[in-house]
């Protein structure tokens, strides 16, 4: 540990700590003054009044002098805590993301971000599977870094990228199925999400996308690759200290329940949201002898609730009547599931030793944007930018559609189902710091 007054210290030294200790110093400022050492006080001249005083033995009994030392020690610790809280509050997410040495000898406070879910967070896995649910063609990605489509269901970055960026891990979270991934990519996290994925296994069996079961299988494979590359010990640290994001469920209600004959004849919306909640709970912990997310080592988990799906442009078109109003039945279904999911997460937090599961409320933020679009500078909230914005998504949102808007920054939604990158950034900036506080807050 280098001395803080060493004039040759570089920024790399400071990032990993420095030593402020001084020989012959003490709690009592007279000790430091008489020895011309560094007092614990941040401004030693505060205690010049003590210079020239008689020895403490003539002023104090040993008991009263111990009380004095405890007072000085307590004051120093209070000041140190105040400095820490001030800086951690000011820097928020960046404080959490501050990294230690980059030589692999230690990990970051958040070494990696691991994502499971559907098209809201998919960063391109569907590019590499046989499915019609793709978006790796223009105009998707029009406002992305490269200006090219990547398989992200938006005009730019999606929440998985923005959260990785907010954690200070990396700018983009790559899809796990990308064949060009290197071990360095795996060490800082990957994305297992797949557009059109659902909680409900009955839809997962018919959809040609990565089900949650498939995503967990890939996660197991990912752990094996990490272990082969960096060993069991470091893999265990990465797995247990990473942040996990789960964002899925909209397709269960809009597609599986309301648009197909699979579930609605057999379930009320109340019993179906019970089923969804049970499936979410099983995915987060351990189902019987089958290891799910917690059983595989995840300890810091963020679970997103459902957005106001009745206000998504496609649902307005399909079920909102001539005026394309928000479909309150769908919004109430989402709210019903959200309340059950919240209660289940609280229950899991009390049962799963060493885990912290955070409920991420994206619903409220998106509702506020839809109801008050002009507040952050949007102009259009009831349709998407791509095509007519009323029904186009995936293959219907393509370069041959002449109605695509020229400026997506005016729109809350990019296509008829997914928000624009500007909307995503506003929501992530609003809700991420508080979510991370629940992992790292000082108690």
Residue-wise pLDDT for 69-99, tens only, equals 676 666 666 555 444 433 443 344 444 343 3
Structure tokens at 362: 């994206």
User: Catalytic pick from 119, 242, 250, 365?
Assistant: 119
Respond yes or no: is residue 266 known to be catalytic. no
Structure tokens at 45: 């001249």
- CA 222 to chain CA centroid, nearest Å: 20
Say what the pLDDT of residue 7 is. Answer: 77
Q: What percent of the chain has pLDDT over 70?
A: 79
Say what the pLDDT of residue 99 is. Answer: 35
User: Catalytic pick from 28, 122, 200, 415?
Assistant: 415
DSSP 16-82: T--B---TT--SSHHHHHHHT---SSSSGGGGGGGTTPPPGGGT--HHHHHHHHHHHHHHHHHHHHH
The interaxial angle of helices 421-440 and 159-166, nearest 10 deg, is 50
Q: Band of the pLDDT at 46, cuts 50, 70, 90?
A: very low
Q: What is the mean pLDDT of residues 143-150?
A: 95
User: Catalytic pick from 143, 242, 416, 418?
Assistant: 418
Nearest to 167 by CA among 111, 247, 120, 87: 111
- pLDDT per position as a tens digit, 118-143: 999 999 999 999 999 999 999 999 99
Between residues 100 and 318, the one the model is more confident about? 318
Residue 392: count other Cβ atoms within 10 Å of its Cβ.
Answer: 23
Say what the pLDDT of residue 203 is. Answer: 81
DSSP 398-436: -TT-TT--S-GGGEEESSSSSB-HHHHHHHHHHHHHHHH
Respond yes or no: is residue 119 known to be catalytic. yes
Q: Band of the pLDDT at 27, cuts 50, 70, 90?
A: confident
Respond yes or no: is residue 418 known to be catalytic. yes
């Amino acid at each position: 540990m280098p001395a803080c007054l060493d004039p040759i210290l570089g920024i790399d030294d400071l990032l990993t700590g420095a030593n402020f200790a001084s020989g012959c110093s003490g709690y009592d400022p007279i000790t430091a003054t008489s020895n011309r050492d560094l007092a614990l006080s941040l401004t030693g001249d505060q205690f010049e009044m003590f210079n020239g005083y008689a020895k403490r033995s003539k002023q104090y009994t040993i008991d009263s002098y111990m009380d004095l030392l405890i007072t000085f020690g307590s004051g120093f610790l209070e000041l140190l805590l105040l400095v820490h809280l001030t800086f951690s509050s000011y820097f928020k997410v960046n404080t959490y993301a501050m990294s230690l040495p980059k030589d692999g000898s230690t990990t970051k406070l958040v070494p990696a971000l691991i994502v499971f879910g559907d098209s809201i967070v998919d960063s391109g896995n569907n590019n590499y599977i046989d499915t019609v649910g793709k978006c790796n063609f223009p105009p998707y990605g029009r406002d992305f870094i490269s200006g090219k489509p990547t398989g992200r269901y938006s005009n730019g970055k999606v929440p998985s990228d923005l959260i990785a960026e907010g954690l200070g891990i990396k700018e983009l979270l790559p899809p796990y199925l990308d064949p060009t991934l290197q071990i360095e990519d795996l060490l800082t996290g990957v994305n297992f999400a797949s557009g059109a994925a659902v909680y409900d296994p009955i839809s997962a069996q018919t959809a040609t996308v990565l089900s949650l079961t498939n995503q967990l299988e890939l996660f197991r494979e990912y752990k094996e690759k990490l272990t082969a590359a960096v060993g069991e010990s470091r893999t265990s640290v990465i797995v247990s200290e990473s942040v996990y994001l789960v964002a899925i469920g909209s397709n269960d209600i809009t597609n599986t329940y309301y648009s197909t004959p699979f579930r609605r004849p057999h379930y009320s919306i109340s019993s179906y949201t019970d089923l969804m909640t049970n499936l979410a709970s099983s995915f987060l912990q351990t189902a019987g002898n089958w290891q799910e997310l917690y059983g595989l080592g995840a300890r810091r988990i963020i679970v997103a609730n459902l957005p106001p799906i009745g206000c998504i442009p496609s649902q307005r078109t399909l079920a909102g009547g001539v005026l394309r109003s928000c479909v309150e039945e769908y919004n109430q279904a989402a709210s019903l599931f959200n309340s059950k999911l919240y209660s289940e997460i609280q229950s899991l937090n009390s049962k799963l030793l060493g885990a912290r599961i955070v409920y991420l409320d994206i619903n409220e933020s998106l509702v506020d944007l839809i109801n008050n679009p002009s507040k952050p500078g949007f102009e259009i909230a009831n349709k998407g930018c791509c095509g007519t914005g009323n029904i186009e998504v995936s293959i219907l949102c393509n370069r041959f559609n002449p109605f695509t808007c020229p400026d997506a920054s005016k729109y809350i939604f990019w296509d008829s189902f997914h928000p624009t990158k500007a909307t995503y950034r506003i929501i992530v900036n609003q809700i991420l710091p508080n979510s991370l506080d629940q992992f790292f807050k000082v108690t």
